[in-house]
Copies of this chain bind each other. A is one copy, B any other.
Amino acid sequence: MSLRFAILTLLESDPGSGYDLMRHFKAGIGHFWNASHQQVYQELGKLNSEGLVEFEVEHQSERPDRKVYRLTPPGQSALAEWRLQPVRPPKVNDALLVKVYGGLNVPPAQLLAELEEHAVLHRERLEEYRASEARFLAMTPEERVPYRLPYLTLRRGILYEQDWLRWLDEARVELEQMAAGS
């Protein structure tokens, strides 16, 4: 339900095309909001027909045309109103933990292997986030100003990945003990 507000939030500071949004979703806020391009294009269509965003077609030679979207005043106020409403923490549905929960019926070596795959993934993400963090920290205090809040959300991503790695470690130790028959 809040995909539209994620889109409006991004367009508010940075008008752009659906494609731009996608890159932004992947690079900038992927650690707390995920959407496919199909979803984004469809939602942009809806937002446009509801008058919350508008676009100008940008013709480009030797490149496909771009529709550059921006907020309309009604879009601005819809966003402002949404921000006044409380939101709930997202519901988590994590298949890996379902496997661990029923793990007595899984070969231990395989479960350990899958945990390690996840650890690799989390390490990779953490590296990416740390690289972004380093870019922020290299800025002067003045340069940082507009990025302070995005940086805060990045911090959430960093803590999240570190926390997962901590748990994966705990889990590995425990599963190894169990596999060793203790």
Contact = CB atoms under 8 A, between A and B. Distances in A.
A153 B97 contact: yes
B149 A100 contact: yes
Given A32-B92, A32-B93, A178-B148, A80 B105 contact: yes
A9 B90 contact: no
Interface string A68-100: 000000000001100110111111111111111
Interface stretch (A40-48, A53-61, A128-136, A158-166): A158-166
Interface residues of A, number: 62
Q: Is the interface of A mostly helix, strand, loop or mixed?
A: helix
B171 A152 contact: yes
Question: Most chain-B CB neighbours within 10 Å: which of A29, A31, A101?
Answer: A101
A174 to B, nearest CB: 6
Interface in A143-177: 146, 148-150, 152-153, 155-156, 159-160, 163-164, 166-167, 170-171, 174-175
A75 to B, nearest CB: 12
A78 to B, nearest CB: 13
28 contacts: A2-B93, A6-B93, A6-B98, A9-B101, A9-B102, A13-B102, A32-B93, A32-B98, A32-B101, A33-B98, A83-B99, A83-B102, A83-B106, A83-B110, A84-B110, A87-B95, A89-B118, A90-B92, A90-B93, A97-B153, A100-B152, A101-B149, A104-B149, A152-B171, A156-B171, A159-B167, A160-B163, A163-B163
- 3 closest Cβ contacts across the A-B interface? A32-B97, A87-B95, A9-B102
Interface of A: 2-3, 5-6, 9, 12-13, 29, 31-34, 79-80, 83-84, 86-106, 110, 114, 117-118, 121-122, 146, 148-150, 152-153, 155-156, 159-160, 163-164, 166-167, 170-171, 174-175, 178
